[in-house]
Structure 1
Amino acid sequence: MTVSVSLLATAAVLCAVGGILMLTRPLTRILLGAVIAGNGINLLVLAAGGRAGAEPLLYGVPLGRVTDPLPQAIALTAIVITLATTAFLLAMAYRSHQLTGTDEVHDDQEDRRIALRSEVRGERDELRERYRATDEVTAEERTRYREERRRLRARLRADRALQARGRDATGDLWHDVLGADPEDYAAQQDRPDADPGATG
């Protein structure tokens, strides 16, 4: 089987560029990365079929000269799947831009809160062990210990305040993300006591 080196190099470059774009936060870049990587994978699949040959017809063509039709069928199926993925990501990016003004993928707040609590708990335990391991605690060490504990509690309070500001005012995920218009979303943000089911 003969494989074109230029075809393999092009496919490798496309896959690398697509992978780099998919590791970014904006959904538009993720979309471009998925499309580019999909094209690179299609080239790899076509390159796996070997060199070009005759049409894979049933009659009138010697079997030794027929091109393998399986990579072509797989590439055609991959193109259809890439089209569906592109439409889905476009819809997500458009809706995200409508609601938040940006298409960036943000960190999950709950995961960040759990990680921060684990980090603060570890620092607090280490601080307590160092404090208790001291035989004679001076007033300066006791003051430093209390300041460190106060600093850790302040980190948790600041994170909770940040989450409270970023939390949706309505609490209705279906209404705010899937069903509400941007104007209704802004109105609900300005009126926290409004009815979540009302769309104006």
Structure 2
Amino acid sequence: MTSYLVPLVLVGGLISAGVYLLLERNLTRMLLGLLLVGNGVNVLILTAGGPSGNPPIRGRTAEGETVTADPLAQGMILTAIVITMGIAAFVLALTYRSYRLSRAEEVGNDPEDARVSERSEKLAGAIDEDLVTHHDPYPDTDEPDELDALPGHEGSR
């Protein structure tokens, strides 16, 4: 299968710009990044669908075409466009709600998440200290014991 360089470069540019915008804290930029990634994936599906050709309708032909276009790629792109528009509407609703509540479009750090993160770091440090100072009451050995499925069976060691 022959692939063309220009659509693949376009796909790479759209997806990389979309990911860059998704990593921003501004909700409008996140939405634009989401739309760019969606459009990049649509171009990728169109490129992977193969060359253009006759319409995928029985009895219809285009001038000089010998192959029929793949209708699956077209159906997948149409479905992806509908899903992307639904997600975009949801993100726009979230952006509007966030702006109405805080008059800021920038997503800040959640104080509750910061508190939970600090608590988990302290807990992880306490667990590490326990592992260093205490011994495991159930040491893991390779020797067969009463919990093994076949006690006394050596297997292929």
Same fold (TM over 0.5): yes
Match of 1:24 in 2: 24
Match of 1:73 in 2: 75
Between Structure 1 and Structure 2, the one with more helix by share is 1
Please tell me the residue identity of whatever aligns with 2:27.
L
CA contact (8 A) 2:27 2:107 kept: yes
Q: What does residue range 25-174 of structure 1 map to in structure 2 within 5 Å?
A: 25-59=25-59, 61=61, 65-119=67-121, 122=125
Tell me the CA shift for residue 23 of structure 1: 1.2
CA 106–59 in structure 1, closer or farther in 2 if over 3 Å, else same:
same
User: Structure 1 residues 111-120 or 28-37, which shifts more?
Assistant: 111-120
CA contact (8 A) 2:54 2:66 kept: no
Q: Distance in 1 between matches of 2:113 and 2:24?
A: 19
Q: Distance in 1 between matches of 2:53 and 2:35?
A: 28
| Pair 1:12 & 2:31 matched | no
Q: Distance in 2 between matches of 1:116 and 1:59?
A: 67
Q: Distance in 1 between matches of 2:121 and 2:8?
A: 46
Please tell me the residue identity of whatever aligns with 2:91.
L
CA 118–69 in structure 1, closer or farther in 2 if over 3 Å, else same:
closer
CA contact (8 A) 2:53 2:69 kept: yes
CA 112–46 in structure 1, closer or farther in 2 if over 3 Å, else same:
same
CA 118–5 in structure 1, closer or farther in 2 if over 3 Å, else same:
same
Segments of structure 1 that go 5 or more residues without pairing to the other structure are 127-200
Q: What SS does the corresponding residue of 2:74 show, helix, strand or coil?
A: helix
Aligned residues: 125
Tell me the CA shift for residue 47 of structure 1: 0.2
Q: Distance in 2 between matches of 1:57 and 1:107?
A: 53
Structural RMSD (CA): 2.3
Q: Distance in 2 between matches of 1:79 and 1:118?
A: 41
Segments of structure 2 that go 5 or more residues without pairing to the other structure are 130-157
User: Structure 1 residues 85-94 or 32-41, which shifts more?
Assistant: 85-94
Q: Distance in 2 between matches of 1:12 and 1:43?
A: 10
1:42-68 C-alpha deviation (Å, 9 max, x unpaired): 000000011111111123559951010
| Greater RCO, 1 or 2 (C-alpha within 8 Å, sep 6+) | 2
